[in-house]
Amino acid sequence: GGGGTAGTLTLLLGEGSKRLPQAIIIGVKKGGTRALLEFLRVHPDVRAVGAEPHFFDRNYERGLAWYRDLMPRTLEGQITMEKTPSYFVTKEAPARISSMSKGTKLIVVVRDPVTRAISDYTQTLSKKPDIPTFESLTFKNRTTGLIDTSWSAIQIGIYAKHLENWLLYFPIGQILFVSGERLISDPAGELGRVQDFLGLKRIITDKHFYFNKTKGFPCLKKAEGSSKPHCLGKTKGRTHPDIDQEVVQRLRDFYRPFNMKFYQMTGQDFGWD
């Protein structure tokens, strides 16, 4: 650490130390977590792991020393971060993160559960083109219109249910909910909220973004540690297949009460209905 010349010197010597993350993006899958992480990494005081460590869900038995070793080195005053969107729906994750540090700041990027489910399906389809249709996976029984809540694409979007589990271990004020929609329509505004929440100076502003018409995404004028403009990779912003509108409507009706409960719990209206 150290300020002034000493700080510059430790930077040049590649020193600093690996610390456990003080903030984690815990969810949700297909919500916009990669975009948020890439946008945040523009901040000089944010250091983040690129790959998803999956420590608190899949690799917990490897231990905290293994986890810490994955982290980038940081200087005094910098924040260490990671993102693993499956944590939000992992039963054991809240207790595990809390036992690492009760003070861990948590960020959840949420998105309209219906478009999130279709996006999730689209990602799976790109890897396994022979899977059944979205419509057939949605229902336990198409005739009765009973929705299959055990299908993960649908399960993940019941945010209120998953959040209850986190609130057993963390106060609501320690969790920031980022709107996946606003992350696209107003990236600088959402990033402002995130920087405030993390106690960072508001360095990332609209000057950092331009809107890419082709991708339909905001992109960075300069990526972290680069002078080139940077959009998210080819796997981001895939075109969704056309889904039967009746099925979409049926899903909207299904999610509505859960969405309302989620708005109440978070004190935020995400405008999904």
Task: Give domain limits for the chain.
Answer: 17-266
- Give the annotated binding-site residues: 30-34, 111, 119, 236-240
pLDDT in the model for residue 15: 80
Tell me the residue type at 272: W
Q: Torsion over CA of 59, 64, 68 and 69, rounded to 10 degrees?
A: -70
What averages of pLDDT result for each successive group of 10 residues across the chain (273 residues)? 60 84 98 96 96 98 98 97 98 98 98 98 96 97 93 98 98 98 96 98 94 87 81 84 96 98 98 94
- DSSP symbols for 162-197: HHHHHHTTS-GGGEEEEEHHHHHH-HHHHHHHHHHH
Give the E-state strand segments of the chain in sequence order: 17-18, 23-27, 46-48, 73-74, 79-83, 105-110, 139-141, 146-147, 175-179, 209-212, 217-220
Distance, in Å, from the CA atom of 210 to the CA atom of 208, rounded to the nearest integer, reads 7
How far apart CA 224 and CA 50 sit, in angstroms, is 12
Q: State the Cα–Cα distance between residues 164 and 263, nearest whole angstrom.
A: 13
Helix, strand or coil, per DSSP, at residue 140: strand
Q: Could you say which architecture CATH assigns to the domain 17-266?
A: 3-Layer(aba) Sandwich (3.40)
Question: What are the φ and ψ backbone dihedral angles of 63, each rounded to 5 degrees?
Answer: 90, 160
User: Is there a contact between 137 and 151 (Cβ–Cβ < 8 Å)?
Assistant: yes
Q: If you count them, how many residues does the chain have? A: 273
Annotated binding residues for 3'-phosphoadenylyl sulfate: 30-34, 111, 119, 236-240
The residue among 28, 29, 83 whose CA lies nearest residue 56 is 83
Residue 1: predicted pLDDT: 47
Give me the active site residues, please.
Answer: 30
Q: Are the CB atoms for 201 and 220 separated by under 8 Å?
A: no
The DSSP secondary structure of 213-240, one letter per residue, reads TTTTEEEESS-TT-SS-B---TTSSPPP
- For residue 48, what pLDDT is reported? 98
What is the model's pLDDT at position 10? 64
- For 195, phi then psi, to 5°, come to -65, -40
Closest by CA to 223, choosing from 240, 236, 237, 204, is: 204
